Amino acid sequence: MMGYYIIAGAIFLVSTFVSRKLKSKFEYYSKVSLRNGLSGREIAEKMLADNGIYDVEVISTPGQLTDHYNPANKTVNLSEVVYNQRNASAAAVAAHEVGHAVQHATAYSWLKMRSAIVPAVGISSKFSNIVIMAGLFLSASGTVFGNTVFLAGIVLFGITTLFTFITLPVEYDASNRALAWLKNKNMVTPEEYKGSEDALKWAARTYLVAALGSLATLLYFVSIFLNRR
């Protein structure tokens, strides 16, 4: 299992670096005040209106970097600082989350695909590691069906990995929609746009690291399975 710990450690270090970089970027660009004086809530509401979406509510949610779009009740949930503040970071996050609302309204294929496998991911994320460990233990103890259990765990983990990769185009597309709207509608100055773009790039990298880390772990488990056959 030494290989697993090496992979997990490397993923943790890279993920920590990207996460800290993301927080520092948002803190830095939160000091770049918007010349138009609009808050994150007002940015979100305007982008929704400009896209002809009137059945989505913009609400405030507790915490930091807790912003998300909920397709179930059609709400753009903005963290308190994003909801109230009037800076490049708030504009970037608010527009990005509305980007997901636009995806939902236009039946964006990757978003539909991600939503379709959410139930399966909920199960796989809870049980994949347990089943994998059980399979490894049973195989080591010489149990006949140990490899079958191990393979079942790999399949479950594969569903989670698939989800992380489907998430990538969803997140990148939402950022592209946000940046295009901010620029085309002259919502921000060139300096403010640069800050919004940089912040969203680092946010996207967190999803990229998660996907690559999940894939590396999956391939490691697959290699173990193949070597035990």
Active-site residues, by number, are 97
Alpha helices per DSSP H over 141-189: 146-184
Residue 60, amino acid:
S
Contact between 156 and 135 (Cβ < 8 Å): no
Which residue do the tokens 């979100």 mark?
A: 44
* Helix locations, 74-145, DSSP H: 80-84, 88-105, 109-140
Residue 31 is inside which H or E element, if any? none
User: Cα separation of 169 and 215, whole Å?
Assistant: 16
Name every residue whose Cβ is closer than 8 Å to that of residue 217 and which is 6 or more positions away in sequence: 4, 7, 8, 11, 157, 161
Residue type, 52: G
What is the Cα–Cα distance from 41 to 92, expressed in whole angstroms?
11
What is the distance between the alpha carbons of residues 27 and 30, in angstroms, rounded to a whole number?
A: 5
Q: Are 130 and 179 in contact (CB under 8 A)?
A: no
